[in-house]
Amino acid sequence: MSRLTLQDVLTATATPFPKFQSLRRRNQIGLAFGRSVAAASLSYVAADCVGLMLVDVLAQSYPNAFAATLTRVHFDGWGYTLAEAEAHPDHDASFCVVDLERESDGQKAHFVAGAADLVNPQALAAELLESTPGARGYVAVRVNCINISRLVRFIRKTAAANGIDLSAAFLPPPDSHAYRDLMRPYVELRDQAIIEVKNRKKREAVAAKIGEKARSAFEALMREGPSHLRQRGRARRPAATGRAW
């Protein structure tokens, strides 16, 4: 897979340039690997298209700035969901944001989760709260789930209609050595699944620093050839699952 230009990303996501300019001016860009800037001088990967669209969909439920923050901070979460969607195209994979509140003092927080064949978001949130570090005392107030598989299908269809080839997998399969190596820098964030409002800026800074290293590693992987990404295939249909970050 070759790297993309900014125009490729805007075309594949059907993003009008004036809208992109507005997002950039307001610091509301959210791309893969925690990137918050976009310019014609930079190169892009297919996962950036998903990030740009994810901000747009999340903004239907949250303020635009927070939608961008969620996308930048939680690439390890929606990136896993994207890798799952690519590895198993015969079922849809969803990325969910769970809004929390601690009833004892009203402290607000959130965590995110990925799920395959999602049926009941509230049940998923309740199950994951029981097993997530730091979740004691919190209750789920709202669950917003985005069908990542649908976004990918839209991006591929729009890109193909405009002569842009995005047929290769956007990320390596989640059970591959390549994917595990790529996402290893994010391991240090896994024990901080619950993010309180007061800690969001700090978490975003950490995610951006980790993302720079991970993006460089991914671009190096792309230069080694498509075999490391592997073409999309139809794998065995897994049971419904959930995973929190």
Task: Say if residues 34 and 73 touch (Cβ distance below 8 Å).
Answer: yes
Which residues, listed in sequence order, are joined to residue 108 by a DSSP beta bridge?
A: 101
Phi first, then psi, for residue 76 (nearest 5°) are: -60, -30
Q: What is the chain's length?
A: 245
**Per-residue pLDDT tens digits for 30-66:** 999 999 999 999 999 999 999 999 999 999 999 999 9
Alpha helices in 132-199 (DSSP H): 148-161, 177-183
Task: Say if residues 51 and 155 touch (Cβ distance below 8 Å).
Answer: no
| Token pair in block for residue 219 | 């671009």
For residue 183, the tally of other CB atoms under 10 A from its CB is 21
Pairing of strands 93-102, 138-147: antiparallel
Task: Say if residues 61 and 144 touch (Cβ distance below 8 Å).
Answer: yes
Task: Look at residue 236 in the predicted model and tell me its pLDDT.
Answer: 38
| Token pair in block for residue 179 | 């994917």
Task: Look at residue 69 in the predicted model and tell me its pLDDT.
Answer: 93
Angle between helices 148-161 and 46-58 (to 10 degrees): 120
Once rounded to an integer, what is the mean pLDDT over residues 66-74?
94
CA 34 to chain CA centroid, nearest Å:
9
pLDDT band at 194 (very low <50, low <70, confident <90, very high): low
**Per-residue pLDDT tens digits for 121-161:** 888 888 878 877 678 889 889 999 999 999 999 999 999 99
**Per-residue pLDDT tens digits for 108-117:** 988 888 887 6
Task: Please return the burial class of 150, using the count of CB atoms within 10 Å of its CB with bins 0-12, 13-18 and 19+.
Answer: middle
* Mean of all residue pLDDT scores within the chain: 86
C-alpha count within 13 angstroms, C-beta hemisphere, residue 231: 4
Specify the pTM: 0.87
Task: Look at residue 230 in the predicted model and tell me its pLDDT.
Answer: 53
Task: Look at residue 190 in the predicted model and tell me its pLDDT.
Answer: 61
User: Roughly how many angstroms between the first and final C-alpha of the chain, as a whole number?
Assistant: 28
| Token pair in block for residue 110 | 């959130």
- Of these ranges, 114-128, 164-178, 200-214, 229-243, the one predicted with the greatest mean pLDDT is 164-178
Q: Is the pLDDT of residue 238 over 50?
A: no
